[in-house]
A and B are shown apart, each in its own frame.
Chain A
Amino acid sequence: MSRMETILSLKNLQKTFTARRKGKTYKIHAVNDISLDVRRGETLGIVGETGCGKTTVGRTIIRLTTADSGVAELNGNDIFTSDRQQMRKLRLKVRMVFQDPYASLNPRRTIGDSVGETGDIHGVFDSRRDREERIARTLEQVGLDASFANRFPHQLSGGQRQRVGIARALLPTPDLIIADEPVSALDVSIQAQVLNLLADLKDEMGLTMVFISHDLGVVAQISDRVAVMYMGNMVELADGPGLFANPQHPYTQLLIASVPLINPNKRVSGGIEKGEPPSRFADVSGCAFHDRCPLATDLCRTTRPELRKNGIGRKVACHHA
């Protein structure tokens, strides 16, 4: 099992939603030509602001949303052309963890039933005893006592519920976990516990993960590599430490500079007006970031920059970085 083995490969992924506003039909490019490899054993972070398409990328991978075009391959098998039978198997191999652990658990089922549900559907348990044992073992893996199997979601705190969400994803020993904002709904002290758990699982089980979040601090802490998205485009892709120490794309720079830090020497002052992302209904030509960018030139307003290696070997989609 080599370190560089590609487990998931996305090529030219494209997804457009149509929306009607005031009698006009708009095309919204949620995901615009994204190509990405996820290697076995790594955690790939996807970071970006609201509406940048990071969730859509995650959802298209397991076909919760159907991509318009592009290719997604898991261990060399094409996901988008798989039939029903193949998809069933695939959904055991790629598992999702969602943001709101309360909304994603059935309030009327016990934790054990929720965790075991996938196993029941796919018939992975040999016997009732095997089922109980595996549910207990999985709960213990995520730091919960086996007795939690008999409880209901309302008896659990937010942090515990998110651990259940992770346990449910782990039960069929998946190849890949897609975690969409898994700690955003939690308090910081609880968030830190869950992030440590994910890091431990990665070390112990060699878990591969796509970690989607808007929180740069969280992504930096957990990811080996990070993809930055803006308005459906991938603007920068780099190893985590490199990206945060030396961001190349002007948007990545703005994003990192905007993270509030505990540093009494860094103070916010009046007069910060850098504009907001343009409306998703607007048809933006050229680089999507050009109207907020300090480096923008005429070229940026007309031509969309490709993601390519720049002078220091970083993958950046910018004409000037």
Chain B
Amino acid sequence: MLTVRNLVVSGGKGASRVDIVSDVSFEIERRKVLGLVGESGSGKSITSLAVMGLLPHPQLWVRGGSIELDGADITEEPPYLRVERGHGGVSMIFQEPMTSLNPVVPIGDQIVEAVRVHDGSTGITARNRAQELLEMVRIPDARLQLTAYPHELSGGMRQRVMIAIALACRPQVLIADEPTTALDVTVQMQVLSLIRELCDTFDMGVLFITHDLGVVSELADSVSVMYGGKIVENGPVERLFNVPLHPYTSGLMNCVPDPSAGHRRFQTIPGQAPKPGEITKGCRFAPRCRHAQAVCTTDTPAKVVDGPLHSAQCHFPIARGAS
């Protein structure tokens, strides 16, 4: 449905040009959740902004590759033209709902605004649709809450309102950029559960961006792991977590605290992530990798596969069964 091919996002001019996102490809299917995982600065949010056509122009621009929605190329299409041309089927929610909502406008009016733009309906019809959307995101007393201001709602409820606004366009694809990071764990579970449910009711695909491997493991059907602006490994969730190929994926998995494990020393990944443009040759993970050899710093790793869906970019993928 949504296909991203060899996407390159760059910033800077002339000699100071750097690629923030290089050669990123993925597909999002109906009723499926793709998890895009990475640490700060890995390029995951920039990728999603590129898909939305929201890159801060002219600092960042798409230098190569294509973004297609149902076969139509939307790479260069600015957001305001997308709705007109019937390509308004991608919506997005962000990490902190309070900064996305207008604090001085009741939430009902904010949902109606989105409904008007995408449905063309007005007045009581739009109002009813807004109430219906609030009910779909399971906000209790939806009718009364239409007049509530964002500050009167809890963080979890605000994120539900954001989701309601995103659903107003009946999206084919919902991009969720760290939507539960600011929420408490018990509330996070509820929002994840809601997203899973809406995926089916709206027959839509979800691109779920997060740094939290646990969240991805519980929610996503397939996973792409980003590091230094590239996708280093992707595959179906159970395959990727059971048999990680890339040392970065397995290193990241070992860093995640598990409450049932009790006291244990973490296996850490030494050093820190590269800045954009810092590493241009070889594998970008090489300086931090335990398995790195000379070739890793000079040659770009080729793709290694484990079955038809699971692949990684690595010279020395972790052997099956090894840590």
Contacts and interface: CB of A to CB of B under 8 A. Distances in A.
B260 A244 contact: yes
Contacts of A189: 39, 251-252, 255, 268-269, 272-273
Interface stretch (A90-98, A121-129, A165-173, A216-224): A216-224
A245 to B, nearest CB: 7
Contacts of B237: 264
Contacts of A259: 185, 214, 259
Contacts of A279: 154
Interface stretch (B62-70, B189-197, B315-323): B189-197
Contacts of B13: none
Interface in A102-153: none
Nearest to A251: B186
Q: Size band of the A side of the interface?
A: 35 or more
B241 A264 contact: yes
A186 to B, nearest CB: 9
B193 A240 contact: no
Nearest to A186: B40
B interface secondary structure, majority: helix
A188 B218 contact: no
A254 B219 CA distance: 18
A280 B257 CA distance: 30
A14 to B, nearest CB: 24
Interface string A53-86: 0000000000000000000000000000000000
Interface string B159-192: 0000000000000000000000000111111101
B256 interface: yes
B258 A217 contact: yes
A254 B269 CA distance: 31
Given A217-B256, A221-B257, A264-B237, A276 B214 contact: no
B143 interface: no
Nearest to B38: A187
A279 B190 CA distance: 18
A225 to B, nearest CB: 12
Given A187-B40, A217-B259, A270 B193 contact: yes
B161 to A, nearest CB: 14
Contacts of A269: 193, 196
Contacts of B219: 267-268
B80 interface: no
Interface string A247-276: 000000011101111111111111111101
B292 to A, nearest CB: 16
Among A159, A241, A259, max chain B CB count under 10 A is at A259
A12 interface: no
Interface in A176-196: 187-193, 195-196
Interface in B202-240: 211-215, 217-219, 237-238
Contacts of A310: none
A191 B268 CA distance: 9
A268 B259 contact: no
Nearest to B221: A267
Contact of B266 (A192, A241, A261, A263): A192
A258 B257 contact: no
B256 A262 contact: yes
Given A187-B39, A268-B218, A241 B263 contact: yes
A254 B187 CA distance: 11
A265 B197 CA distance: 18
A105 B190 CA distance: 37
Contacts of A240: 262-263
Nearest to B185: A258
A277 B237 CA distance: 32
A11 B53 CA distance: 57
B260 A191 contact: no
B30 to A, nearest CB: 17
Given A221-B261, A260-B212, A266-B218, A254 B256 contact: no
A306 interface: no
A291 interface: no
Given A187-B211, A189-B39, A189-B269, A216 B217 contact: no
Nearest to B154: A276
12 contacts: A187-B273, A190-B272, A240-B263, A241-B263, A260-B192, A261-B258, A262-B214, A262-B258, A264-B241, A268-B193, A269-B196, A270-B193
Interface of B: 39-40, 138, 154-157, 184-190, 192-194, 196-197, 200, 211-215, 217-219, 237-238, 241-242, 251-270, 272-273
Given A217-B257, A277-B184, 17 more contacts: A188-B211, A189-B39, A193-B266, A220-B259, A221-B266, A240-B262, A241-B263, A245-B260, A254-B186, A259-B185, A263-B217, A267-B218, A268-B193, A270-B193, A270-B196, A270-B200, A279-B154
